[in-house]
Structure 1
C-alpha cells in the first residue's frame, strides 16, 4: 500500500481498528511474556539460594 499522508497510514485503508488492535495485543502478549519470564527467573534464583543455604546448614551440622 502507498499512503499519501500520515493520516492515511494510521487509517490503514479503513482497517485501522483491526490492524492497530492486533499490534497492541501482540505487544501486550510480548510484555506479559517478559514479565512472566522475569518472575519465574526470580523464583528459581530464590529457590536455589534456599537450597544452597539448607545444604550448608546440613554440612555444618554433620561436623
Structure 2
C-alpha cells in the first residue's frame, strides 16, 4: 500500500484506529507480561530466602548446647 503523506499513513485508509489500537493493546499486554514475570521472579527469590532463613533458625535450635 502506498501513502502520499504521513497523515495517510496514520489514517491507514480508514482503518488506522483499529490498526494502531491493536498495536497499542499488544504493547500494553507485552509490557504487563514482562512486569508480571519480573514480579513472580522477585517474589520467588523472597520466598526462597525466607525458607532458607527459617531452615537455618531450625538448625540452630536443634544443635545441642
With normalisation by structure 2, the TM-score equals 0.88
1:32 positional shift: 1.0
Q: Does 1:35 align with 2:35?
A: yes
Deviation above 6 Å: which 4+ runs of structure 1? none
- 2:14 is aligned to 14
1:36 positional shift: 0.9
Rg larger in structure: 2
1:25 positional shift: 0.5
String of CA shifts for 1:10-50, please: whole Å, max 9, x gaps. Answer: 11111011101100110111011111111111110110000
With normalisation by structure 1, the TM-score equals 0.91
Structure 1 stretches lacking a partner, 5+ long: none
